Amino acid sequence: MKTFKLENEPKIESGFRTPNDYFENFSVKMMERLPASEPKVISIFQKRKTLFMMIAAILVLALMIPIIANWSQNKQELDSVALENYITYQSNVNQYDLINELETEDISKIKINVAIEDKAIEDVLAMNSNLENLLLE
């Protein structure tokens, strides 16, 4: 095999050449081509920040709708007549169920002092033929 010597072989010249004094004046020419004022840079993160704020606001509003709906409803208290009529006409509710559900505080609020004379009690017992049923209850 023949030895290869790099210096002896003819070299292929590149087709690209730089003009004379190109790199000496390059920085001056480049500065002349740049615009005088720099353009305003808009960050990508700024757009994301507004997007996150909009999503957070929508989420807060969505969570507040049920709270506002419950708060704005007019809550009507049950009047005692309606409650009494309901309990009276329900056949599956008896006095023992009501007693079991009442607490001692509720019972103390219900107590009403009614002055009944002995004569009135005797009259009711004398007129009532179901005395045995009353005694058993």
Domain-embedded: residue 23: no
What does the block give as tokens for 101?
């559900």
Identify the burial level of 130 via C-beta atoms within 10 angstroms of its C-beta, where 0-12 means exposed, 13-18 middle and 19 or more buried: exposed
What does the block give as tokens for 38?
């720099």
On whether the pTM is more than 0.75, the answer is no
pLDDT at 37: 79
d(CA 116, CA 122): 11
- Structural domains of the chain, count: 1
pLDDT at 36: 76
The pLDDT of residue 131 is above 80: no
Domain-embedded: residue 87: yes
Domain-embedded: residue 3: no
The pLDDT of residue 111 is above 80: no
Domain-embedded: residue 22: no
Q: The domain containing residue 96 runs over which residues?
A: 80-130
pLDDT at 122: 85
